Amino acid sequence: MFAFLMELVKIDTNANERKNYWNIARVIEEKAKEIGLNTYIHVHRDDKGEVPNVIAWADLGADKNLVLLSHYDVVPAGGTWRLGDKTFEPFDPLRINGKIYGRGAADDKSAIALSLSAASMILSKGKAKYNPVVVVVGDEEVGGTGVFAVAEKGFKEAGIRPDRVVVIDAAPDFVGIGASGVIGGEIIVKGKGGHAGRPFVAINPVHLAIRIADDLLTGFAQQHASCMSVIPSPPGSPVPKVWGRFSITIMRAGEKHNVIPDKAVLGFDIRFIPEEEKDSVISKFLAAVSSIAARYGANVEVNIHETLNPGWMTDPDHEFVSEVLDSYEKFFGNRRVAGSLGGNDGFIFARKGIPTVSLGTIGLDSRAHADLENVEEEIVIKIRDLLVDLMTP
């Protein structure tokens, strides 16, 4: 399992470039066939190219299918990484002290390796409570194109019915029964440029942007934070239930210290609870921006980035959640459920009424998306064995 994980990490699957997508899809397909799974590659095509998505399964006579969902694409990584006195490249993984370091080791290639290992182990038993269906998609890091295509067309083409789903792209600290929705975009503040020595003949969009940002953080952000889900927050959160969050993430304006620019840009990120509808959140935000802009006489334009991720939740009393918690307790010693503060691909299934949970190997020290990304081998084994237990009759 770990040798295969390191083989996967060596393949640079930068999502921004859709790099080596077919290469890794073929490697995963070959491994799936090697352990005795049927395979089908669903290909999504758009104006940027192709996204191959691997579906691998076995019919062991169970009444229901269990989808083990992961993704092979990663965020970009550049430069050399340094760990103590060792230096290595992000796509030349390092295995040391019970951890594997490399881009994608945690997010999300360990999930691929453990899913196939779990499927192999349940195949060796000859019977299962759930038929294993390993699904590995692309483009998760850039909007969810792959999983959306599989859910809409791929399963039908492969002749597979997804009855239960485990999204293996989360923290190991709890069983995820939901995730926040995500909205992002920019506020463009328009002004009148000029010489900084004569500010009285200019309209400084930077000053206006600062005021708008401050009012949003003390107004809209506070109101949005009062929206709380019924789902508990992850361990270590400052609030007991998943709550609404708003952040200014980008400030961009000007090129020279003595020139007043003619526009300023504020980038923002909104996380909303699963019970809220995306369009309602957007309407409230636009109303807040409009009111603030009118207060300062500012000329603003708001661009909302389209997102496929509206958030999701599964009934915590559903029998599938109880089954997962039974297995989770055997390996982690508790029955903690929570909602993810980020987003993940569970939304496409949960919103179709398919019972969905999330689990994963991405711990607090995994440094996913950062230098020295890593995964603990012990956690990988625990999640793998948990899934085997869940599928064992």
CB count within 10 Å of CB 333 equals 8
CA neighbor of 368 nearest in space, from 95, 13, 102, 146: 102
Number of Cβ atoms within 10 Å of the Cβ of 352? 13
What is the reported pLDDT for 344? 82
| 10 CB-near residues (< 8 Å, 6+ apart) | 91, 92, 93, 102
CA 32 – CA 55 distance, rounded (Å): 9
Q: What local confidence, expressed as pLDDT, does residue 308 receive?
A: 63
What are the pLDDT tens digits along the chain (393 aa)? 999 999 999 999 999 999 999 999 999 999 999 999 999 999 999 999 999 999 999 999 999 999 999 999 999 998 999 999 999 999 999 999 999 999 999 999 999 999 999 999 999 999 999 999 999 999 999 878 999 999 999 999 999 999 999 999 999 999 999 999 999 999 999 999 999 999 999 999 999 999 999 999 999 999 999 999 999 999 999 999 999 999 999 999 999 999 999 999 999 999 999 999 999 999 999 999 999 999 999 999 999 987 667 889 999 999 999 999 999 999 999 999 999 888 788 889 998 999 999 999 999 899 999 999 999 999 999 999 999 999 999
Give the chain's count of helices (H) and strands (E): 11, 22
pLDDT of residue 15: 96
Please provide the DSSP assignment of 204-253 as one string.
-HHHHHHHHHHHHHHTHHHHHHT-EEEEEPPTT-SSSEEE-EEEEEEEEE
**pLDDT for res 310:** 84
| Strand 241-243 versus strand 228-232 pairing type | antiparallel
pLDDT tens by residue, 297-330: 999 999 998 766 788 999 999 999 999 999 999 9
pLDDT digits (tens, 9 = 90+) for 361-372: 999 899 999 999
Token look-up 């010693």 returns 333
Q: Is the pTM of this model over 0.75?
A: yes
- CA gap 289, 187 in Å, rounded: 9
Query: Residue 180 in contact with residue 341, Cβ under 8 Å?
Result: yes
| Cα-to-chain-centroid distance, residue 271 | 13
* Residues making up the chain, counted from first to last: 393
Gap between the Cα atoms of 70 and 54, Å rounded? 10
Cβ–Cβ < 8 Å for 125, 61: no
CA–CA separation, 225 and 217 (whole Å):
10
Per-residue model confidence (pLDDT) at position 143: 78
What's the gap between Cα 278 and its chain centre? 17
